[in-house]
Amino acid sequence: MQLPRHVIPKQLARGETAYYYNVPTKYRKLKCPVENEPLGTDFAVMTKRASVLNGQFNEWDTQRKGLPISAPNMPKYGTVDWLFREYKISRAYLDKVSVRSRDDYEWAMDQICNTLTKKGDRIGDRLVKTITPRAADKLYDKFIEREHGERLRTGEKLVVLCRKAWRVVRRLFPDDFPKDVPNPWVGVTMKTRVKKKKSAVTRDEVYTFAHGCIEHGEVEAAAVAVICFEWLQRPENVIAGHIKWSGYRTGPKPTIRIEHHKTGEIVDHPLEDEALKFYEEAEEVLSHLKRLGSPMILYEVEEGKAKPFGFSTMQHKVQRMRMKLGLPSHFTFDACRHGGMTELEEAELTDGQGRALSAHRTQQSYIGYAKRTEKRVLAATRKRHAHRLANEMATDVQNEQQKTVQNEEREQSAIAE
């Protein structure tokens, strides 16, 4: 397999091949600014990242030799193209943007850089210093332009991305940004839009999907749906193999360990209490999985060798099985997790109890997941009605007591006369 330049493979103890970007020592002695970096085990992700790093290396090497920079993958220093390239190699991007989201970020950056001005030139070719607050406002209007209606959500995403990229890169290259207005995207007024709520599926739909997948031999997809619904783990973490057999019924108490890699939180969900099993149906689904390695969700490449599924591969499985089983079009692994979060609210748990299970750090982030279902509205209406009845009863009792007191006073007055 042809590897990108400066990329070396290493065999890990668990049998996987990991890739590393390694600048040769002779260039390191010449103070090459491109850092060595681990590139993970995914070949496609490694190739993309290595391409960016090699572009950085080529630019430095060309400047070192005193040659003009003209290659298409080397944007002019100080331009918007250059800004986004620097952002993509920053720790703010590599550590905070998940691999699952990077394709969306790439698309958004292309949309911004390829936006044309009235003169017909690309925004990506403009110097960062020329993007003033007024220019940012005009660009927002360009971002939301569409033949039929406005792309309000897209415009919002692009402005937020610009604001973040400007802030990150300015910190690294302060001299290349204007001193008076370092970030023109702060304060851009965006049009109000009605935000679409993500869908949630019910317990019945989750287990209809799970049992149907088992019948059709898609056991891993069944397990992912159940794990997302019951134990509220993010789908990308489940599919990437972050839920492990070593965290399932191996400690002093029967629990399943869920690691939330987005927040760094770990929750050990109890599976039973004395003779009571909390997740009997879910564990029955997990019992169909083959133990191919430490992660629960793996597929067998060849005998004795397994690897995690690609996220898009598993998404295709979900849609194919959803249609076979006649489930609604909004059935996704994300909808399974949202359904589990909604069930927490339908069970009338307090925010603290719900967050103990979901591992959300803030009340605001937790609230956004629970959907206003008919069951929740009905429960709230019943409580409100009970509250009104209690008040009416209390008022009636108070009135009766007042009448009794008044009657007693009249009787005493009559006796005295």
pLDDT of residue 407: 83
- How many domains does the chain divide into? 3
3-state SS, one letter per residue, for the chain: CCCCCCEEEEECCCCCEEEEECCCHHHHHCCCCCCCEEEECCHHHHHHHHHHHHHHHHHHHHHHCCCCCCCCCCCCCCEHHHHHHHHHCCHHHHCCCCHHHHHHHHHHHHHHHCCECCCCCEHHHCEHHHCCHHHHHHHHHHHCCCCCCCCHHHHHHHHHHHHHHHHHHHHHCHHHCCCCCCCCCCCCCCCCCCCCCCCCCCHHHHHHHHHHHHHCCCHHHHHHHHHHHHHCCCHHHHHCCCCEHHHECCCCCCEEEEEECCCCEEEEEECEECCEECCHHHHHHHCCCCCCCCECCCEEEECCEEECCCHHHHHHHHHHHHHHHCCCCCCCHHHHHHHHHHHHHHCCCCHHHHHHHHCCCCHHHHHCCCCCCHHHHHHHHHHHHHHHHHHHHHHHHHHHHHHHHHHHHHHHHHHHC
My answer on whether 11 and 158 are in the same domain is: yes
My answer on whether 17 and 134 are in the same domain is: yes
Q: Is residue 416 part of a domain?
A: yes
pLDDT of residue 375: 61
My answer on whether 290 and 401 are in the same domain is: no
Rounded to an integer, the average pLDDT of 60-65 is: 76
Domain CATH for 347: 1.10.443.10
Of the pLDDT bands very low, low, confident and very high (cuts 50, 70, 90), residue 241 is confident
Q: Is residue 399 part of a domain?
A: yes
Q: Which of 141, 132, 142 is nearest to 186 (CA)?
A: 132
pLDDT of residue 78: 85
Rounded to an integer, the average pLDDT of 32-54 is: 86
Q: Is residue 377 part of a domain?
A: no
Which region among 30-34, 197-201, 267-271, 362-366 has the lowest average model confidence (pLDDT)? 362-366
CA atoms of 299 and 240, how far apart (whole Å):
11
Query: Residue 43: CB partners within 8 Å, gap ≥ 6?
Result: 1, 19
Q: Is residue 407 part of a domain?
A: yes
Which is it for the CA torsion 340, 260, 155, 181, positive or negative?
positive
Q: Could you tell me the residue range of the domain that residue 367 belongs to?
A: 203-371
pLDDT digits (tens, 9 = 90+) for 201-231: 999 999 999 999 999 999 999 999 999 999 9
Q: Is residue 345 part of a domain?
A: yes
**Residue pair 185/169 in contact by the 8 Å Cβ criterion:** no
My answer on whether 366 and 389 are in the same domain is: no
Which region among 210-219, 251-260, 311-320, 356-365 has the lowest average model confidence (pLDDT)? 356-365
Average pLDDT, the chain: 86
Q: Is residue 183 part of a domain?
A: no
Q: Could you give the percent of the chain with pLDDT greater than 90?
A: 41
Q: Is residue 194 part of a domain?
A: no
My answer on whether 355 and 398 are in the same domain is: no
My answer on whether 152 and 240 are in the same domain is: no
pLDDT digits (tens, 9 = 90+) for 363-398: 666 666 665 556 656 666 666 667 678 877 888 888
Kindly tell me if the per-residue pLDDT of 157 is higher than 70. yes
pLDDT of residue 368: 62
Rounded to an integer, the average pLDDT of 126-148 is: 90
Of the pLDDT bands very low, low, confident and very high (cuts 50, 70, 90), residue 48 is confident
Compare 242 and 210 and report the one with higher pLDDT. Answer: 210
My answer on whether 128 and 102 are in the same domain is: yes
Q: Is residue 193 part of a domain?
A: no
**Residue pair 333/228 in contact by the 8 Å Cβ criterion:** yes
333-346 helix and 351-358 helix, angle to the nearest 10 degrees: 150
